[in-house]
Amino acid sequence: MKIELAKSYGFCYGVKRAINIAEKHPNSVTFGPLIHNKDEIERLEKKHQVGLVETLEEAKKYDTVIIRTHGITKERLKRLKSEGKKIINATCPYVTTPQQIVEKMSKEGYTIVIFGDKQHPEIQGVASYSVLPEKTFTILSEDEIIGLPLGPKVALVAQTTRKPEAYQRIAAKLVARVQELRVFNTICNATFENQAATEELARKSDIMIIVGGKNSSNTKQLFYICQNYLDSCYHIENSNEIKAAWFDGKERCGVTAGASTPDWIIEDVIAKIKELTKES
């Protein structure tokens, strides 16, 4: 069987930057998972003594706190600083940008519409920068625009890992409803590249293996893209989840990975597939 890796996959700039920051600050903690990959988080803890806290109470016990790549809410950041902690901000610059946009545009009286998952920490952080919470709305589809109490001026931003096509549809729906619409392209370039490369590979594969955290938004997007082209798609976190039966009767296996997936996990996955299939 032929195994092919997507032309663009794995660690993005923001994740590489965050990992590099964490490795330079041993004996610290991250507020929330630094990235959405539990295996890499375990590696950082074992090799670099970088721990993990989920609450402000836990964070109080440590001198140095690293802010996760997805960012945290403005209020939580303010609370951490008030405790006199050394704050190392590893928030991805592509996430910091929509935070700044939301703060600025809400101060100018714009209704804020955010295209993304309101349960995701990135979006919770972005939304928290609005000075008009009653005029800030988070949606996952264009259908949710119906009924929103939009004002005459709207500013639109997107979660960094959303699909551009869906974002364009939302913008088109909004522009027909308001007097003024400001659309900001806050989708990460690495997301574009990984999604395009995954689609290209899925079109010519019999089976797709998508490697990344189960709670990783961008990895889920890659999985959904693959499902448009074939039934045999598997979202795994590491090589332990691979089953030999998946490859029965298959000739071309495509492998892609989310932006929080380190090379060592991808290499393990490919090695396991080779072992199970005797790659030709």
Which domains occur in the chain, in start order?
Answer: 2-9+189-277 (3.40.1010.20), 13-92 (3.40.50.11270), 94-183 (3.40.1010.20)
Say how far apart CA 266 and CA 272 lie, in whole Å.
10
Residues 6+ apart with CB under 8 A from 241: 234
Say how far apart CA 19 and CA 21 lie, in whole Å.
5
Say how far apart CA 249 and CA 32 lie, in whole Å.
42
pLDDT by residue for the chain (280 residues), tens digit each? 899 999 999 888 999 999 999 999 999 999 999 999 999 999 999 999 999 999 999 999 999 999 999 999 999 999 999 989 899 999 999 999 999 999 999 999 999 999 999 999 999 999 999 999 999 999 999 999 998 999 999 999 999 988 889 999 999 999 999 999 999 999 998 888 999 999 999 999 999 999 999 989 889 999 999 999 999 999 999 999 999 999 999 999 999 999 999 999 999 999 999 999 975 4
Choose the catalytic residue: 58, 75, 122, 199: 122
CA atoms 221, 222, 223, 224: torsion sign = positive
- Which pLDDT belongs to residue 279? 58
- Which pLDDT belongs to residue 220? 93
Say how far apart CA 270 and CA 276 lie, in whole Å.
10
Q: Name the residue with tokens 């997936």.
A: 261
Structure tokens belonging to residue 266:
């991808």
- Which pLDDT belongs to residue 130? 98
- Which pLDDT belongs to residue 280? 46
Say how far apart CA 261 and CA 36 lie, in whole Å.
8
What's the N-to-C CA distance of the chain in angstroms? 5
The residue count for the chain: 280
Does the global pTM surpass 0.75?
A: yes
Count Cβ atoms below 10 Å from residue 231 Cβ, excluding itself. 9
* Residue 122 a catalytic site member: yes
